[in-house]
């Protein structure tokens, strides 16, 4: 039991179980197979984008632009489709655009060393503006049937987008835990100057992280466009950046970098999804969802901090 | 005849305007602990930075095991067998001890790039065990380890590169007394394994306990290398200090007052160390100690930056100081050691910097009183002889000396009764030093009580009416004015338990 409590994700696991129990008591409709599937389904894009954000926050950075990247890729895919391009090629090109957006962020942050908050604040407007510009302000809609597969299709009897998300989560958990690239991210976020002294190329790692984040947002945007069936450039992914960052923090990530896991973040996304869904199912006014979410972020972070303090107790010696 | 594992020949290092090292030769043999000594600014750390690949030498050769080498960066030096353990540890507190040792090392991955955690844990544990750190669990994150264990991890990291040469920079500074012994055990093991160790330290006692040889640097040149049996503390100190420094220091015209302005009783510096002293009106009290002596903590306690137990009595009344604001209200001012990070606000003008501590007094309601600010700023520009075209100039463009005067000036504007000066002339040229000394002197003559904390011996000796020598959180000796010279001061500060000492 004690060892279980020391697992990094322990607070969020306990927390998630608590709200599940709570909502199950309040509403019999909550803990139903269909409802659980709905929660997962509604948050697929968030799961995927949050993987990227976990890496960004592990570096000690942040990315305000992911929502806009989602808008610009989804809009582009819509445009490609409306020009009769094959859905698979359109999807691929959309992902490439996501990667390009990540390269732009990565270039200014990692190579030109401009603070991430400034770069992504600027690109948040730029990418959103491009999306609105190329869409001409109209809704992208009437996607061909072949495109619906990405958001609604099934593979081996399972939802295609869910499978994609699970695959990506698996890959990135492995990447962060078992590859030098992943461990470099933790090292840089933990102590940048020590990382440099250990011969780690900080710029290269940062650039890679932003590029991978762009790639993940690209994938997420294809699923998003297909699932929703239409894209409005000015609103798509509007509050995505903040929601995803919140999920990382709720999942045990530290805004100062170096601490956090993909698994924790995924639980964070799930947790936020459950709250939203549960509040609505429990017939609480949907207008209170935001306030509740904010309150829970603070609560989660307090609990994470308490866990860290508890673990730090009993540390030997003290500095003179 | 054994061959040296490392030779440095004719090493010179120039920075713009300064020659930090000139023509230094240094030899190191396998299995020896070689102490490197010298005063602050003697060139020890520059020499070690050249050796560990942080700087490249302007002139000279480095030979490792007979072959000439060049180090492009610290990692390069490590790979070739020279590792350094900095005074401040370079650890990832969020990662396990094992990963700290083997971060980003290809030999810890399989052919397919998968990190082999069990191999990493095993090798790390073996390495840590081999230097006597058996009680450390290498799976634990470093932030859960104590200082000694962290140091063992640093040493293990250095050794994991098959280090032939290990540089330890003030390794005991961060350690409590009882852990220094443990560190020596580690050093002895390494010596037995044939590692050559450069041991940089100020502490005499440690040097005689652990070193085989000692090399002394002074003003960027090598004075001598001797076997430890051939030297005494006296002779070492003489080598380090050299001739007396010139007269930078004004002569005291009048005795300081008798009234005790500040009395400190059993002020806690950490969980075990407490300190007591008193400061009189118009007195300059020097606090001197080698790194880790606790003098910085005294300043932090008095200025409310750190909390603890003990009594602070100002003018006969016991007071509590829990924040800089409260300290200010008790008429205490603090000129911190790191001007750039703690002293000045660079983009602001001289005038704005000067007015910072007394903004409430310089305001009418919520509006700043321009005229009074202007008048105050003019007064302190003049009093401190701050050289600038106008007080509207941004302090970023001032010389180090003038920046330091701004920091002192802003606190004088707060009209303190007690002024704590920590490293008041760090990074300041000689001319400005003399001016700052004159200012300090003049302030004391005007009745300000000054606590002078400095690592520069001539400064402490030249200015202080009385000097307290600190060692690991204790006052080990007190010198009256004119009693101390550099040799004695250094001796007391680095090897406190001599006959006649107060402890």
| DSSP code per residue over A64-101 | TTHHHHHHHHHHHHHHHHHTT--HHHHHHHHHHHHHHH
Give the per-residue pLDDT at A303: 78
Q: What is the per-residue burial (b if ≥16 Cβ within 10 Å, else e) of B324-358? A: eeebbebbbbbbbbebeeebbeeebbbbbbbbebb
Tell me if B88 is assigned to some domain. Answer: no
With both helix axes pointing from N to C terminus, report the angle between B147-159 and B117-130 in degrees, rounded to the nearest 10: 110
DSSP letter at B476 equals: E
Residue among B438, B378, B426 at smallest CA distance from B401: B426
Do B110 and B177 sit in the same domain of this protein? no
Give the per-residue pLDDT at B496: 62
Do B277 and B375 sit in the same domain of this protein? yes
Q: B172: distance to nearest CA of chain A, Å? A: 11
Contact: B104, A198; criterion CB under 8 Å? yes
Q: B223: distance to nearest CA of chain A, Å? A: 32
Averaged pLDDT, B151-158: 90
Residue among A179, A278, A19 at smallest CA distance from B113: A179
In angstroms, the Cα distances linking A255 to A245, A251, A278 are: 9, 11, 27
Is residue B6 within 8 A of residue B165, CB to CB? The reply is yes
Tell me if B253 is assigned to some domain. Answer: no
pLDDT beyond 80 at B393: yes
Tell me if A307 is assigned to some domain. Answer: no
Tell me if A312 is assigned to some domain. Answer: no
Tell me how far apart the alpha carbons of residues B173 and B177 are, in angstroms, rounded to a whole number: 10
Put simply, whether B115 touches A (Cβ < 8 Å) is yes
Averaged pLDDT, B61-87: 90
Tell me if A24 is assigned to some domain. Answer: no
CATH of the domain at A79: 1.10.3470
CB under 8 Å to B211, separation ≥6 — which residues? B33, B34, B35, B199, B228
Do B183 and B143 sit in the same domain of this protein? no
Of the candidates B90, B92, B143, the beta carbon closest to that of A312 is on B143
pLDDT beyond 70 at B3: yes
Averaged pLDDT, B269-293: 89
Of the candidates A178, A200, A259, the beta carbon closest to that of B94 is on A259
Give the per-residue pLDDT at A75: 96
pLDDT beyond 70 at A117: yes
Tell me if A33 is assigned to some domain. Answer: no
Do B31 and B58 sit in the same domain of this protein? yes
Concatenated DSSP letters of B92-144 = -TTSBHHHHHTTT-GGGB-TTS-B-HHHHHHHHHHHHHHTT-TT--TTSBGGG
| Full residue range of the structural domain in which residue A215 is found | 42-301
Of the candidates B91, B144, B176, the beta carbon closest to that of A315 is on B144
Q: Which residues of A touch B273 (CB under 8 A)?
A: 320
Give the per-residue pLDDT at A70: 97
In the beta sheet, which residues pair with residue B274?
Answer: B268
User: Look-up: residue for tokens 């001007």?
Assistant: B339
Under the phi-then-psi rule, with left for phi > 0, alpha for psi from -120 to 50, and beta for the rest, what region is A132? alpha
Q: Which residues of A touch B90 (CB under 8 A)?
A: 191, 193-194, 197-198
Residue among A129, A160, A143 at smallest CA distance from A230: A143
Of the candidates A183, A191, A315, the beta carbon closest to that of B146 is on A315
Q: Which residues of A touch B269 (CB under 8 A)?
A: 320
Is residue B98 within 8 A of residue B157, CB to CB? The reply is no
pLDDT, tens digit, 9 for 90 and up, residues B369-385: 889 999 999 999 998 88
Put simply, whether B294 touches A (Cβ < 8 Å) is yes
CATH of the domain at B432: 3.40.50.300
What is the value of ipTM here, to two decimals? 0.85
Tell me how far apart the alpha carbons of residues A32 and A24 are, in angstroms, rounded to a whole number: 9
The domain boundary residue, chosen from B243, B271, B293: B243
What's the alpha-carbon Rg for chain B, to the nearest Å? 25
Give the per-residue pLDDT at A310: 67
Q: Which residues of A touch B271 (CB under 8 A)?
A: 318
pLDDT above 70: percentage of residues in chain B:
96
Put simply, whether B181 touches A (Cβ < 8 Å) is no
Give the per-residue pLDDT at A4: 61
Averaged pLDDT, A109-135: 95
pLDDT beyond 90 at A94: yes
Tell me how far apart the alpha carbons of residues A187 and A200 are, in angstroms, rounded to a whole number: 9
Q: How confident is the model at residue A59 (pLDDT cuts 50, 70, 90)?
A: very high
Q: Which residues of B touch A193 (CB under 8 A)?
A: 90
Give the per-residue pLDDT at B501: 40
pLDDT beyond 80 at B484: yes
pLDDT beyond 50 at A314: no
Put simply, whether A313 touches B (Cβ < 8 Å) is no
Put simply, whether A276 touches B (Cβ < 8 Å) is no
Of the candidates A190, A193, A200, the beta carbon closest to that of B94 is on A190
Measured at the CA of B363, the angle between CA B358 and CA B368, to 5 degrees, comes to 110
Contact: B147, A317; criterion CB under 8 Å? yes
Q: Which of A185, A317, A318 to mutate to test the interface with B (most CBs of B within 10 A)?
A: A317
Tell me if B249 is assigned to some domain. Answer: no
Q: A115: distance to nearest CA of chain B, Å? A: 19
Contact: A316, B145; criterion CB under 8 Å? yes
With both helix axes pointing from N to C terminus, report the angle between A262-281 and A289-312 in degrees, rounded to the nearest 10: 140
Put simply, whether B54 touches A (Cβ < 8 Å) is no
Q: Which residues of A touch B91 (CB under 8 A)?
A: 191, 194
Tell me if B251 is assigned to some domain. Answer: no
Do B478 and B407 sit in the same domain of this protein? yes
Neighbouring CB atoms inside 10 A of A298's CB total: 11
Which tokens is B263 given? 């009395």
Q: Which residues of A touch B176 (CB under 8 A)?
A: 317-318, 320
Averaged pLDDT, B49-56: 90
Tell me if A313 is assigned to some domain. Answer: no
Q: Which residues of A touch B74 (CB under 8 A)?
A: 197, 199
Tell me if A253 is assigned to some domain. Answer: yes
| Full residue range of the structural domain in which residue B420 is found | 260-494
**For chain A, how many structural domains are there in total?**
1
Tell me if B54 is assigned to some domain. Answer: yes
DSSP letter at B394 equals: B
Do B35 and B48 sit in the same domain of this protein? yes
Residue B80: burial class (beta carbons within 10 Å; 0-12, 13-18, 19+): buried
**For chain B, how many structural domains are there in total?**
3
CB under 8 Å to B127, separation ≥6 — which residues? B101, B156, B159, B160
Q: How confident is the model at residue A189 (pLDDT cuts 50, 70, 90)?
A: very high
Tell me if A173 is assigned to some domain. Answer: yes
Q: How confident is the model at residue B503 (pLDDT cuts 50, 70, 90)?
A: very low
Do B398 and B309 sit in the same domain of this protein? yes
Give the per-residue pLDDT at A317: 36
Tell me if B123 is assigned to some domain. Answer: yes
Do B203 and B127 sit in the same domain of this protein? no
Which residues 147-166 on chain B approach chain A with CB closer than 8 angstroms? 147-149
pLDDT, tens digit, 9 for 90 and up, residues B418-438: 999 999 988 777 677 888 998
Do B302 and B440 sit in the same domain of this protein? yes
DSSP letter at B251 equals: P
Q: How confident is the model at residue B147 (pLDDT cuts 50, 70, 90)?
A: confident
Tell me how far apart the alpha carbons of residues A69 and A213 are, in angstroms, rounded to a whole number: 10
Q: Which residues of B touch A194 (CB under 8 A)?
A: 90-92
Put simply, whether A199 touches B (Cβ < 8 Å) is yes
Do B56 and B146 sit in the same domain of this protein? no
CB–CB contacts below 8 A, A to B: 94
Averaged pLDDT, B27-55: 89
pLDDT beyond 90 at B167: yes
Do B138 and B179 sit in the same domain of this protein? no
Put simply, whether A309 touches B (Cβ < 8 Å) is no
Handedness of CA B246, B250, B254, B255 (dihedral sign): negative
Is residue A310 within 8 A of residue A59, CB to CB? The reply is no
Furthest-apart CA atoms within chain B: distance in Å: 81
pLDDT beyond 60 at B262: yes
Of the candidates B90, B113, B145, the beta carbon closest to that of A194 is on B90
DSSP letter at B362 equals: G
pLDDT beyond 90 at B175: no
pLDDT, tens digit, 9 for 90 and up, residues A215-240: 999 999 999 999 998 899 888 998 89
Averaged pLDDT, B172-178: 74
CB under 8 Å to A254, separation ≥6 — which residues? A57, A260
Give the per-residue pLDDT at B499: 45
Put simply, whether B106 touches A (Cβ < 8 Å) is yes
In angstroms, the Cα distances linking B53 to A96, A291, B47, B221, B438 are: 41, 54, 10, 20, 41
Q: When comparing pLDDT for B253 and A256, which is higher?
A: A256
The domain boundary residue, chosen from B103, B135, B161: B161
CB under 8 Å to B193, separation ≥6 — which residues? B31
Of the candidates A193, A316, A320, the beta carbon closest to that of B294 is on A320
Put simply, whether A229 touches B (Cβ < 8 Å) is no
pLDDT, tens digit, 9 for 90 and up, residues B188-234: 999 999 999 999 987 888 899 999 999 999 888 999 999 999 998 87
Q: A69: distance to nearest CA of chain B, Å? A: 31
Calculate the average pLDDT of chain B.
88
Contact: A180, B294; criterion CB under 8 Å? no
Calculate the average pLDDT of chain A.
89
pLDDT beyond 90 at A1: no
pLDDT beyond 50 at A25: yes
pLDDT above 70: percentage of residues in chain A:
94
Which residues 233-272 on chain A approach chain B with CB closer than 8 angstroms? 258-259
Residue among B271, B278, B283 at smallest CA distance from B473: B271
Q: When comparing pLDDT for B92 and A145, which is higher?
A: B92
Put simply, whether B61 touches A (Cβ < 8 Å) is no
Give the per-residue pLDDT at A186: 96
Tell me if B346 is assigned to some domain. Answer: yes
pLDDT beyond 70 at A197: yes
Neighbouring CB atoms inside 10 A of B390's CB total: 10
Give the per-residue pLDDT at B248: 67
Do B354 and B405 sit in the same domain of this protein? yes
Tell me if B490 is assigned to some domain. Answer: yes
The domain boundary residue, chosen from B243, B277, B307: B243
pLDDT above 90: percentage of residues in chain B:
50
């Amino acid at each position: 039991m004690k060892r279980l409590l020391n697992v990094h994700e322990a607070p969020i696991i306990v927390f998630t179980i608590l709200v599940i129990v709570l909502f199950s008591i309040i509403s019999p409709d909550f803990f139903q197979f269909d409802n659980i599937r709905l929660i997962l389904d509604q948050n697929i894009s968030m799961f995927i984008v949050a993987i990227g954000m976990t890496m960004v926050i592990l570096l000690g950075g942040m990315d305000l632009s992911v929502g806009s990247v989602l808008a610009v890729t989804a809009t582009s895919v819509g445009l490609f489709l409306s020009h009769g391009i094959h859905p698979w090629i359109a999807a691929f090109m959309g992902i490439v655009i996501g990667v390009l957006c990540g390269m732009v962020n990565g270039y200014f942050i990692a190579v030109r060393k401009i603070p991430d908050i400034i770069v992504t604040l600027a690109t948040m407007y730029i990418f959103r503006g491009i999306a609105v510009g190329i869409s001409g302000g109209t809704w992208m809609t009437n996607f061909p049937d072949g495109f619906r597969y990405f958001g609604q299709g099934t593979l081996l009897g399972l939802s295609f987008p869910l499978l994609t998300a699970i695959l990506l989560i698996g890959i990135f958990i492995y990447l962060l835990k078992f590859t030098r690239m992943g461990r470099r991210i933790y090292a840089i976020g933990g102590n940048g100057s020590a990382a440099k002294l250990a011969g780690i190329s900080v710029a290269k790692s940062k650039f890679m992280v932003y590029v991978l984040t762009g790639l993940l947002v690209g994938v997420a945007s294809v699923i998003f466009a297909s699932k929703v069936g239409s894209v409005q450039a000015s609103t798509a992914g509007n509050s995505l950046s903040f929601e995803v960052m919140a999920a990382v923090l709720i999942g045990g990530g530290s805004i100062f970098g170096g601490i956090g896991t993909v698994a924790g973040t995924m639980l964070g996304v799930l947790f936020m999804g459950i709250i939203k869904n549960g509040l609505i199912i429990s017939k609480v006014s949907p207008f209170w969802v935001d306030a509740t979410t904010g309150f829970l972020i603070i609560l989660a972070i307090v609990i994470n901090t308490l866990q860290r303090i508890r673990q730090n107790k009993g540390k030997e010696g003290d500095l003179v | 005849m054994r061959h040296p594992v490392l030779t440095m020949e004719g090493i010179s290092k120039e920075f713009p305007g300064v020659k930090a090292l000139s023509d230094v030769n240094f030899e190191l043999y396998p299995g020896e602990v070689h102490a490197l000594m010298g005063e602050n600014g003697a060139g020890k750390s520059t020499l070690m930075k050249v050796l560990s690949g942080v700087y490249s030498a302007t002139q000279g050769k480095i030979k490792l095991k007979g072959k000439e080498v060049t180090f492009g960066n610290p990692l390069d030096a490590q790979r070739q067998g020279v590792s350094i353990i900095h005074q401040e540890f370079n650890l990832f507190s969020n990662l396990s001890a094992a990963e700290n040792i083997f971060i980003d090392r290809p030999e810890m991955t399989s052919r397919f790039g998968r990190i082999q955690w069990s191999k990493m844990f095993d090798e790390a544990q073996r390495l840590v065990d081999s230097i006597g750190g058996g009680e450390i669990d290498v799976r634990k994150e470093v932030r859960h380890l104590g200082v000694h264990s962290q140091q063992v991890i640093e040493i293990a990291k250095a050794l994991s590169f098959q280090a032939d040469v290990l540089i330890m920079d003030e390794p005991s500074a961060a350690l409590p007394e009882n852990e220094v012994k443990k560190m020596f055990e580690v050093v002895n093991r390494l010596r037995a394994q044939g590692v050559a160790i450069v041991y940089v330290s100020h502490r005499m006692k440690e040097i005689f306990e652990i070193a085989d040889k000692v090399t002394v640097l002074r003003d960027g040149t090598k004075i001598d290398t001797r076997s430890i049996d051939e030297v005494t503390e006296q002779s070492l100190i003489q080598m380090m200090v050299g001739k007396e420094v010139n007269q930078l220091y004004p002569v005291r015209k009048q005795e300081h007052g008798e009234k005790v302005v500040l009395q400190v009783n059993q002020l806690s510096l950490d969980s075990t160390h407490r300190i007591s002293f008193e400061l009189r009106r118009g007195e300059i009290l020097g606090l001197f100690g080698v790194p880790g002596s606790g003098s910085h903590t005294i300043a932090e306690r008095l200025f409310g930056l750190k909390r603890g137990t003990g009594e602070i009595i100002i003018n006969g009344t016991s007071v509590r100081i829990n924040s800089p604001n409260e300290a200010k209200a008790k008429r205490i001012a603090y000129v911190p050691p790191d001007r750039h990070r703690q002293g000045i606000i660079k983009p602001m003008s001289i005038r704005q910097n000067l007015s910072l501590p007394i903004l409430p007094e310089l305001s009418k309601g919520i509006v700043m009183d321009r005229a009074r600010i202007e008048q105050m700023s003019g007064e302190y520009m003049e009093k401190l002889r701050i050289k600038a075209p106008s007080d509207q100039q941004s302090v970023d463009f001032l010389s180090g000396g003038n920046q330091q005067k701004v920091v002192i000036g802003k606190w004088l504007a707060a009209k303190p009764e007690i002024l704590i000066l920590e490293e008041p002339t760090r990074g300041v040229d000689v001319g400005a030093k003399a001016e700052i000394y004159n200012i300090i002197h003049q302030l004391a003559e005007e009745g300000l009580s000054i606590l002078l904390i400095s690592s520069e011996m001539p400064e402490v000796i030249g200015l202080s009416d009385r000097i307290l020598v600190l060692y690991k959180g204790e006052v080990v000796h007190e010198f009256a004015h004119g009693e101390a010279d550099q040799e004695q001061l250094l001796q007391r500060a680095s090897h406190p338990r001599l006959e006649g000492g107060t402890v």
